[in-house]
């Protein structure tokens, strides 16, 4: 009886356990169908990721390392176009796509999000946050492009130029929620990737030099969009009380009435979540205004400018910081990407944080406590001789601070490395850094302590010009973070080359300003493959694997500072607005699709002999109006464009007052990313017209 019972009991248990197995199977089955669209922190932290590309820098460690060997150093020559899509209405493309559950998501010009079948390229849905209409007349500063999206849980997160943060249903692209992160009429903007992790999504903003700005980062509940916490980067007016103890500590490093000019520190890029330490690292911005002797007249380090700042991800509380450029005065922000790995240094395993900010030094920090492990120059940097390892501070060259002086400084304000992401390959142990080589001349002779920052002006309190003696160039370098030395370098003629991807196939991929997608041997820098894509590349490539096949995808659409014409280099490439088709291109081994050839680089001819009578007084006023209305942000400094918008010197629209007004004031081309300016005065419109016509004649004379 007992035995019998035991057998029956056994059978019963076995039945239950069988049922459980069946149920588990069902659950497993359910999850394997839908799990891709339930992106968790664990999933993002994994190196394998089931062949996908789940977040901006692929894993939470932001290494941009794809662990696939199918495409490798011995067969990369067989790489060909698998599929591509034309994006005829896009202009600047700088973003990193994501791939989840065989769908590729990317953000294009004016923050338009698209979901695309990652195997065929078929467009599944499009979300348009209608940015040009939103900013009309209210926001004169910003950029047409954005660096990326986040996927977390079952939602996609993005942010808009005008300061909105949105969550989308991943299947349909419908808005789950949308929230404003700062007032529309403030002199701030967003170009950054919201970082979603641990049930939150965080976003900062740019605009340090466009007003009396005080940088901050805000965390929102990923499900609801409710604000969870906010952390200011620099202290406000002590009379108003400090938000937290960290602000009180920071205030001791500022002097004078710093808060009247904002202080700056805006965080527009460089967010990394450390799963092991449960810490959020953010790279912080430069000072507002740039000139430290005006910003903080009695000196001081000006915390937390130009720092790696560690915060508690749940509460936003301060954990630790390391400041790369104390009392910065050259626009040397530390907003560049922050990469995490473990390194063996002098026989010890170190939880390392790698950072190559604008100032030209490569930093290895201990992410357990923020201590400096090592720092060496990765590019020409004449402002400091070295980093003192006992104090952790740079040793500045006397005279590098341009107090009432003119001084040649390298790197220039775009830095030796900007937002174009670096990548880290654990197999080679090397970091691949898109490097910029240039210098500028700073002079603050025209500025005094009476300076005040105003919204929508360039509040630098220092003048700078590209140092014309200095040969501008770019390079890709492989950097050994343990030995702090360069292992190999490839030179480029132009400075604005794109971010990198490295793979387990011993490869490094990078797009160049000249329009080539390059593959290098990751260990020695030998060029193994190149493909001319006919248009400057500004976005980093990604790689993913579906059904055992490895793909490589890249957005081709000249964008960023080079395309905005911030300096002369971008305007020399010939990426004339409207000539070259923007594309998303995906490669695979043996891919045999042909992309239509792009037109050769070209430079529009300025219109002359038009009969337009230039009033030179109006033209002089127009120079200021053109700058103050930030027309140059897209149409190029001094109306010399570099691809982000048409060359107005060649435009017949300038000859027709009505047409000009209807485009610039009424927004006739809003749908094509030319913002409306409903509040612009007739006087400004007319003077801008005369200024541009004069620039056309001047260009002809050269």
Candidates 641, 637, 643, 607; CA nearest to 623 is 637
Place of tokens 């909105």: 164
Do you find a cis peptide bond into 411, omega within 30 degrees of 0?
yes
Interface with ligand HEC by CB under 6 A: which range of 50-58, 597-605, 616-624, 647-655?
Answer: 647-655
Asked if 310 and 370 touch (Cβ cutoff 8 Å), the reply is: yes
Residue 648 interacts with ligand HEC (CB under 6 A): yes or no: yes
- Considering only 115, 472, 663, 699, the residue that binds ligand HEC (CB under 6 A) is 663
Q: Distance between CA 420 and CA 496 in Å, rounded? A: 9
Q: In this chain, which of 37, 482, 595, 669 binds ligand HEC, going by CB under 6 A?
A: 669
Q: Does 674 bind ligand HEC (CB under 6 A)?
A: yes
Residue closer to ligand HEC, measured from CB, 507 or 650: 650
CA distances, 551 to each of 163, 263, 518 (Å): 33, 45, 15
Q: Binder to ligand HEC among 159, 282, 513, 645 (CB under 6 A)?
A: 645
CA distance 659 to 674: 14
Q: Which is nearer to ligand HEC, 469 or 609 (CB)?
A: 609
- Shortest spacing between CB 284 and ligand HEC, in angstroms: 26
630 contacts ligand HEC (rule: CB under 6 A)? yes
- If binding is defined by CB under 6 A, does position 646 make contact with ligand HEC? yes
Per-residue binding string, ligand HEC, 34-73, x by CB under 6 A, is ----------------------------------------
Among 39, 79, 91, 104, binds ligand HEC (CB under 6 A): 91
| Both structure tokens of 614 | 């230039």
**What is the footprint of ligand HEC within residues 363-402 (CB under 6 A)?**
none
Of the candidate spans 220-228, 317-325, 344-352, 662-670, the one that interacts with ligand HEC by CB under 6 A turns out to be 662-670
CB of 185 vs ligand HEC, minimal distance in Å:
16
State in angstroms the smallest separation of the CB of 436 from ligand HEC: 23
Structure token digits, residue 35: 């799990």
Residue span binding ligand HEC (CB under 6 A) among the ranges 338-346, 356-364, 611-619, 659-667: 659-667
Interacting residues of 644 by C-beta distance below 8 A, sequence separation 6+? 91, 92, 144, 558, 559, 563, 564, 565, 577, 634, 635, 636
Question: If binding is defined by CB under 6 A, does position 559 make contact with ligand HEC?
Answer: no
558 scored as a contact of ligand HEC (CB under 6 A): no
CA dist 338 and 321 (Å) reads 13
Task: Report the distance separating Cα 182 and Cα 204, nearest Å.
Answer: 10
Q: How far apart are CA 396 and CA 388, in angstroms?
A: 10
Task: Using CB under 6 A, pick the residue from 673, 676, 696, 699 that binds ligand HEC.
Answer: 673
Q: Which of 229, 230, 291 is nearest to 263 (CA)?
A: 291
Of 402, 675, 686, 699, the one binding ligand HEC (CB under 6 A) is: 675
Could you tell me the sign of the dihedral formed by the alpha carbons of 161, 287, 212, 280, in that order? positive
Question: Contact 547/68 with Cβ under 8 angstroms?
Answer: no
Q: How far is the CB of 568 from ligand HEC (least distance, A)?
A: 20
172: Cα separation from own chain's centroid: 26
Candidate residues 635, 649, 690, 693; the one interacting with ligand HEC per rule CB under 6 A: 635
Under the criterion CB under 6 A, does residue 631 sit at the interface with ligand HEC?
A: yes
- Distance from C-alpha of 525 to C-alpha of 534, rounded to nearest angstrom: 23
Number of residues that bind ligand HEC (CB under 6 A): 24
Dihedral sign, CA of 106, 109, 111, 112? negative
* Structure tokens that stand for 422 in this block: 């670096």
Minimum separation from the CB atom of position 110 to ligand HEC (A): 8
Residues that bind ligand HEC (CB under 6 A): 91, 144, 578, 629-631, 633-635, 645-646, 648, 651, 653, 660, 663-664, 669, 672-675, 677, 688
């Amino acid at each position: 009886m007992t035995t019998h019972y035991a057998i029956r009991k056994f059978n019963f248990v076995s039945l239950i356990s069988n049922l459980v197995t069946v149920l588990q199977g069902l659950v497993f089955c359910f999850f394997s169908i839908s799990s891709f669209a339930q992106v968790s922190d664990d999933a993002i932290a994994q190196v394998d990721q089931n062949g996908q590309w789940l977040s901006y820098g692929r894993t939470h460690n932001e290494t941009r390392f794809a662990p696939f060997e199918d495409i490798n150093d011995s067969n990369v020559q067989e790489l060909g176009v698998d599929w591509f899509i034309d994006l005829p209405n896009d202009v600047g493309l700088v973003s990193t796509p994501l791939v989840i559950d065989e769908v590729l998501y990317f953000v294009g010009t004016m923050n338009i999000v698209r979901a695309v079948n990652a195997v065929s390229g078929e467009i599944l849905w499009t979300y348009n946050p209608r940015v040009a209409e939103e900013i009309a007349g209210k926001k004169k500063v910003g950029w047409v492009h954005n660096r990326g999206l986040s996927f977390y849980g079952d939602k996609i997160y993005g942010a808009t130029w005008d300061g909105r943060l949105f969550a989308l249903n991943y299947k349909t692209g419908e808005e789950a929620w949308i929230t404003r992160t700062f007032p529309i009429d403030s002199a701030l903007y967003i170009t950054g990737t919201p970082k979603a992790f641990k049930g939150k999504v965080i976003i900062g903003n740019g605009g340090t030099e466009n007003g009396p700005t005080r940088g901050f980062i805000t965390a929102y509940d990923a499900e609801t969009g409710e604000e969870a916490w906010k952390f200011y980067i620099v202290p406000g007016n002590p009379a108003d009380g400090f938000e937290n103890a960290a602000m009180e500590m920071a205030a001791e490093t500022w002097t004078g009435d710093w808060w009247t000019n904002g202080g700056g520190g805006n965080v527009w890029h460089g967010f990394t979540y450390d799963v092991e330490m449960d810490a959020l690292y953010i790279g912080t911005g430069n000072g507002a205004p740039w000139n430290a002797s005006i910003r903080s007249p009695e000196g001081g380090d000006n915390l937390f400018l130009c720092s790696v700042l560690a915060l508690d991800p749940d509460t936003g509380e301060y954990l630790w910081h390391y400041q790369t450029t104390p009392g910065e005065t050259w626009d040397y922000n530390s907003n560049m990407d922050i990469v995490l790995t473990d390194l063996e240094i002098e026989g010890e395993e170190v939880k390392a944080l790698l950072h190559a900010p604008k100032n030209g030094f490569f930093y290895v920090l201990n992410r357990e406590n923020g201590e400096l492990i090592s720092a060496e120059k990765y590019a020409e940097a004449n402002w400091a001789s070295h980093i003192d390892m006992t104090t952790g501070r740079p040793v500045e060259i006397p005279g590098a601070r341009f107090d009432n002086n003119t001084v040649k400084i390298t790197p220039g304000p775009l830095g030796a490395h900007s937002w174009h992401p670096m990548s880290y390959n654990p197999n080679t142990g090397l970091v691949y850094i898109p490097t910029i080589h240039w210098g500028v001349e700073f002079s603050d002779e025209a500025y005094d302590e009476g300076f005040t920052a105003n919204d929508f002006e360039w509040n630098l309190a220092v003048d700078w010009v590209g140092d014309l003696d200095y040969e501008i160039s770019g390079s890709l370098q492989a950097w050994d973070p343990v030995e702090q030395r360069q292992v190999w370098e490839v030179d480029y003629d132009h400075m604005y080359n794109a971010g990198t991807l490295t793979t387990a196939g011993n490869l490094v991929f990078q797009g160049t300003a000249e329009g080539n997608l390059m593959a290098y041997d990751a260990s020695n820098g030998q060029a193994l493959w190149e493909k001319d894509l006919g248009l400057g590349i500004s976005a980093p490539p990604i790689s993913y694997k579906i059904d055992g096949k490895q793909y490589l995808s890249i957005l081709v659409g000249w964008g960023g500072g080079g395309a905005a014409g911030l300096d002369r280099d971008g305007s020399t490439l010939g990426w004339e607005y409207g000539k070259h088709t923007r594309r998303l291109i995906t490669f695979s081994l043996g891919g045999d699709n042909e992309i239509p050839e792009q037109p050769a680089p070209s430079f529009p001819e300025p219109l002359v002999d038009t009969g337009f009578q230039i009033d030179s007084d109006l033209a002089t006023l127009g120079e200021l109006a053109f700058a103050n209305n930030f027309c140059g942000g897209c149409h190029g400094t001094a109306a010399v464009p570099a691809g982000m918008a048409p060359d107005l010197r060649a435009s017949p629209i300038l000859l027709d007052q009505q047409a000009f007004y209807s485009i610039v004031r009424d927004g006739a081309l809003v749908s094509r990313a030319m913002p409306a300016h409903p509040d612009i005065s007739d006087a400004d419109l007319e003077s801008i017209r005369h200024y541009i016509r004069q620039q056309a004649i001047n260009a002809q004379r050269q």
